[in-house]
A and B are shown apart, each in its own frame.
Chain A
Amino acid sequence: MSPGRESSGGRIAIEGLTKTYGGEADDERVVAVDDLDLEIEPGEFVTVLGPSGCGKSTLLDCVAGHVEPTEGRVTVDGDPVTGPDPSRGVVFQENRLFPWKTVRENVAFGPSVRGRSTDRVPELLERMGLSSFADSYPSDLSGGMAQRAELARLLANEPSIMLMDEPFSALDAMTKQRMQVELLSAWRETDATALFVTHDVEEAILLADRVVVMTARPGTVKTVVDVPLERPRGHDARTTEAFTDLKRRLLASIHDEAGSEFAAEAGARPATLADGGDDGDGDDAADSSGGGGSP
């Protein structure tokens, strides 16, 4: 909590959130999120961990205001979410930098369309190591740089809530780990509440105060785990006993979830996540990083 910041973290309350997609008939409908309750404290960092297709992105879209809940509601500091708002910044898996604007113009976009000062933009570009790319177009950036620019664009708006939908899942393993630590230090300079969706167990632990494990079809909360690691956290946090303990517990929990369909068929629970955690959609990043840590 740094003093002098205008923004302060928002309290997110998700109450009985249900989102279904598809047709009129019951058998044509897909329940993405089913009667989900979750409260997130101001300034808290919560990661939502779950297999692909468990509705975690839908959950995030509902908080962002991009998707309207079928039932239930999302409130921020007591006010219902009815649409997108600059107080709730979003970073997506694929960068959504405007290709027709330079990096500087992209980062300054929020404050400038809202008629606010863009004085912080150079500092943010510097902070994210993008100063020498300020006048480049997004097509000239690497994946990691593009996500840093996205993060800078979000921070320029000084949001009270940061929403992130697997922002690092398209990056290579090294870049991803560096970005996670950079995100943590950038977040610590704000008072913002963070909601971060991922299918990577290590990422979920490293970033979060609390990890919310989601179940697939229908998507709802399976368990919530506190992360007792001290902040600030760096790369060395990954090797602490508390971290590996937590990882083991979460892997077991996910196994149980994603593996249940396969396990039922095979008649046995798979021993590693590489076998059981892959739900067949090609998201290998989490599986390979998780597989190495399995006993």
Chain B
Amino acid sequence: MSGAATVARVRRSAATGATTFARRLEAVPRSARRAVSVLAVFAIWWALVRFGVAGFAFFVSPVETAAAVAAHLTGEPVADGGTIYLHAAYTTARVLAGVAVAVTVAIPLGLVIGTQRRWERFLLPALEFLRPIPPIAWVPLVLVIFPTVRLGVVFVVFLGAFFPVLVNTVNGVRSVDDEYRRAAASLGAGDREVLRHVVLPSALPAIFTGVTIGVGLGWVTVIAAEMITGEYGLGHVVFQAYRLIDVESVVVGMIAVGFLGAASTALLSAAVERAAPWLEGAPTGVTR
């Protein structure tokens, strides 16, 4: 056995050696590429304003915007009142609440629909009918049926995040390899253990994909809903600033949304890596 163990050890050290080398090789150019990617956006923006392409002559340049961002970050009120932090907090809270409810409802529902034919026939047609309706189209109805605007916006975010999570969960559950079910059954696992130890972990990459898309759509819907419903929030900031012809505040609001959206994606990826360490090395994001 010692011979085999030595072979195994050599194999392992060779494997880790290869991965650290690959990581080192990847790390440097990747961060550089990211910087170039972001800088390119600002460069194109600057050029469009500088050379007055289309209506960009009336737009603010990145330089002026940087000053505005700095001012707002130090607490100068945006548009018709409130700091950027206050509006960002409202928007973020709505996304979190809407996505949290969507995930809590859609994952169990997806597990049921994906594993049980009876429930699939019962539930899926209604959901397929509701799915194509854009969440934003619900806003007028939501304003009528919900007691407060805040609750209504959370519901619209929920709608945006719900379907991607549901559809991906169902697909993930359906694509579970039957051989794993068989192996589990031969080891003494009953239906509940198979669901917990085989179906759920096996569907997890697809579920994460759904949640990633859901969070993205959550940001899309929250901004649109806030534009319509008013009150607080980054969507309200952007639209109110537009009404007041405060172009700088429009851009500040947009930048804030972009930053928070990117941050939530990064947080999600980190959470996935912690929750599913066996997926280490698999490509992250929606293509996983």
Binding site for B on A (CB under 8 A): 64-66, 83-86, 88-90, 92, 94, 96, 98-101, 109-110, 113-114, 129, 132-133, 137, 139-140, 142, 145, 153, 157, 178
Contact = CB atoms under 8 A, between A and B. Distances in A.
B197 A64 contact: no
Most chain A Cβ neighbours within 10 Å, of B8, B183, B201: B183
Contacts of A99: 278
Given A99-B278, A129-B4, A145-B8, A84 B182 contact: yes
Contacts of A114: 188
Q: How large is the interface on B (under 10, 10 to 19, 20 to 34, 35 or more residues)?
A: 20 to 34
Interface string B165-196: 00000000000000110111111111001000
A137 to B, nearest CB: 5
A98 B182 contact: no
B41 interface: no
B141 interface: no
Nearest to A154: B187
B198 A98 contact: yes
Given A100-B276, A129-B1, A140-B15, A66 B182 contact: yes
Nearest to A127: B1
A109 B197 contact: yes
A149 B1 CA distance: 15
A137 B282 CA distance: 14
19 contacts: A65-B186, A66-B182, A85-B188, A89-B187, A90-B183, A90-B186, A92-B179, A98-B201, A100-B202, A100-B204, A109-B187, A110-B188, A113-B184, A114-B188, A129-B4, A132-B5, A137-B277, A140-B12, A153-B187
Contacts of B243: none
Given A100-B201, A113-B193, A132-B9, A84 B4 contact: no
Please classify the interface of chain B as helix (H, G, I), strand (E, B), loop, or mixed, using the class held by over half of its residues.
Answer: helix
Interface of B: 1, 4-5, 8-9, 11-12, 15, 179-180, 182-190, 193, 197-198, 201-202, 204, 276-278
Given A98-B198, A137-B277, A132 B187 contact: no
Given A99-B278, A129-B8, A142-B11, A113 B186 contact: no
A140 B280 CA distance: 11
Contacts of A90: 182-183, 186
A96 B278 contact: no
Contacts of A85: 186, 188
Contact of A178 (B4, B198, B201, B204): B4
Contacts of B197: 98, 101, 109, 113
Nearest to A96: B183
A101 to B, nearest CB: 8
B206 to A, nearest CB: 13
Most chain B Cβ neighbours within 10 Å, of A83, A89, A96, A140: A96
B2 to A, nearest CB: 9
Contacts of A137: 277-278
B201 A89 contact: no
Nearest to A148: B4
Contacts of B179: 92, 94, 96
A98 B278 CA distance: 10
A109 B180 CA distance: 12
A121 to B, nearest CB: 13
A90 B187 CA distance: 8
